[in-house]
Amino acid sequence: MSISEKELKILVKETIKEYLTSSEEFKDFVTTARSNQSFCPEEVPNISTIDRRKRFVPNPVVPDITAIDLQKRLLVPDPVNSEAYLALKAKSPARVGVWRSGPRMKTETLLRFWADHAASQDAVAGEVSEELTQKLDMLAVQTKCKDKAEYLTRTDLGRQFDDEEIAKISQNCDQNPQVQIIVADGLSATAIERNIEDIIPAIKLGLEVEKIATGRIIFVKYGRVPAMDVISEVTGADVCCLLVGERPGLVTGESMSAYIAYRATVGMPEANRTVVSNIYSGGTPTVEAGAHIAYIIKEMLDKQASGVNLKL
């Protein structure tokens, strides 16, 4: 028996509606939303009263499925050992122990997968706001990439600057600073937006304690990691520290990394960089990472080395 596309869409909508009306998380969410006026100033509509002829419902409150902590959820019905199951899930944010309906994922698992995938796409496609760069008094420059599409397809251009941008860096930044901090959007603008305001003060504080001077922070739009090498040569910095949004996955789109190098030069081996990765709320917290980065920079200046040549 064949089924038309229209009938299939109706079936999918009915399935999702049935899931939402039976989901304990949804019921709890609606109860909380209705009782919290600061969070939900409008009345939460009953899902059964939704006019199915309309594409959108006025003032709906849709539960954020990503707010549910999957590491604390028993997704397998009647597990033999619940404690061991949850202990295993607590060790990894990966999708460990999900159930199925026949050969397919359960609706909750599938919706969460789609939500996490959408967050990853938003992280890649997003842009770091000009308000943020201005707030932190960063010198904004751009690589040879004209837009995000070119940035994603031409990795070589994300490492280069045209003459005008190089002159801008030279004229507006301190020459020969001990440390040059650089911020780049990389593959996750979300990571920069979420972490940069906390980590920069932590790095600066750690360096100030050691009486280490920093130049004006540079923001690189559409920047790849080797863009720091060009800036290193232009400014003559002893140490360059690049804070960049990392490629997002299905666990998070907020992870940032720090690539740090002593007297970086264009074309140098990647092994000469020291990396602090997985900087975000679910990995290494930003303040802790900032203090650690300041320590690494101090060691680089003392030992005049970085990467595999630096023994920490």
pLDDT tens sequence for the chain (312 residues)? 566 777 777 777 777 666 666 656 555 655 655 555 444 444 444 444 444 444 444 455 667 777 778 888 888 888 899 899 899 888 887 888 888 888 888 888 888 888 888 888 888 888 999 999 999 999 999 999 999 999 999 999 999 999 999 999 999 999 999 999 999 999 999 999 999 999 999 999 999 999 999 999 999 999 999 999 999 999 999 999 999 999 988 778 899 999 999 999 999 999 999 999 999 988 899 999 999 999 999 999 999 999 999 998
| CA separation, residue 78 to residues 25, 75, 82, 85 (Å) | 18, 9, 8, 11
Amino acid present at 272: N
Strand-strand pairing, 274-279 and 179-184: unpaired
Q: What is the CATH number of domain 69-127?
A: 1.10.30.40
Q: Where in the chain is the domain with CATH 1.10.30.40?
A: 69-127
Q: Identify whether the C-beta of residue 296 lies closer than 8 Å to the C-beta of residue 274.
A: yes
Q: What DSSP element (H or E) covers 104?
A: strand 104-105
Give the Cα separation of 179 and 307 in Å (integer): 16
Contact at 8 Å (CB) between 256 and 279?
Answer: yes
Q: Are residues 185 and 142 in contact, defined by beta-carbon separation less than 8 angstroms? A: no
Q: Where in the chain is the domain with CATH 3.40.50.11240?
A: 130-309
Strands 256-262 and 274-279: antiparallel
CA distances (Å), origin 53, targets 10, 44, 49, 50, 56: 12, 19, 12, 9, 9
- Matching CATH number, 130-309, of 3.40.50.11240, 3.30.70.20, 3.20.20.60, 3.65.10.10: 3.40.50.11240
Report in angstroms the alpha-carbon separations of 60 from 55, 56, 57, 116, 119: 12, 8, 6, 21, 21
